[in-house]
């Protein structure tokens, strides 16, 4: 059975995230896009509880709005208390790469959890992000979220 809603973004049914009206979609709260396929974490500071603030990135990455929690808080709506009590960190157990005089990346492998833990130490007055991609990535992938459908 097909869902005839704004949420149909593939050949398989997905949960509805909006309502379809002739020639347009009315998206549910925090959803947007031609088929209500994108979701922001918040639309106002109140969505982030008393321990967070809703920040609009102003760029092309998704989500466009996210909650930034006060130190010691995390989670949806900044509603979970963090076990960390200080911002100081012993980096002696980490490998280090200096990307520039103001930008250092530290990492260590957590073999038991099969994870990599990373720390960015940056002298900046703005937001900093880190991303990586598979070696075989095509130029099409760099256009996210404006990736063309196959056959277009």
Q: Which domain holds residue 151?
A: 89-152
Do 50 and 32 lie in one domain? The reply is: no
Kindly report the number of other CB atoms within 10 A of residue 112's CB atom.
6
Which CATH number fits the domain that encloses residue 111? 2.60.120
41-51 pLDDT per residue, tens = 999 999 999 99
Domain boundary at 82, 106, 137, which? 82
Q: What percent of the chain is modeled with pLDDT above 90?
A: 32
Do 13 and 63 lie in one domain? The reply is: no
Do 29 and 15 lie in one domain? The reply is: yes
Do 9 and 48 lie in one domain? The reply is: no
109-122 pLDDT per residue, tens = 988 888 888 889 99
Do 35 and 48 lie in one domain? The reply is: no
Do 13 and 27 lie in one domain? The reply is: yes
Do 93 and 60 lie in one domain? The reply is: no
Number of domains in the chain: 3
Report pTM.
Answer: 0.53
Do 71 and 104 lie in one domain? The reply is: no
Structure tokens at 36: 């209500």
């Amino acid at each position: 059975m097909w869902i005839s809603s704004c949420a149909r973004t593939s050949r398989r049914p997905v949960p509805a995230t909006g309502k379809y009206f002739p020639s347009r979609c009315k998206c549910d709260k925090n959803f947007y896009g031609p088929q209500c396929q994108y979701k922001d974490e918040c639309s106002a500071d109140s969505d982030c509880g008393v321990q967070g603030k809703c920040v609009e990135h102003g760029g092309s990455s998704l989500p466009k709005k996210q909650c930034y929690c006060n130190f010691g808080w995390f989670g949806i709506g900044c509603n979970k208390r963090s076990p960390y009590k200080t911002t100081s960190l012993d980096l002696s157990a980490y490998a280090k790469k200096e990307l520039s005089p103001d930008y250092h990346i530290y990492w260590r492998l957590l073999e038991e959890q099969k994870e990599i833990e990373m720390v960015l130490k940056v002298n900046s007055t703005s937001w900093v992000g880190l991303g990586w991609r598979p070696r075989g990535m095509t130029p099409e992938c760099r256009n996210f979220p404006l990736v063309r459908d196959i056959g277009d």
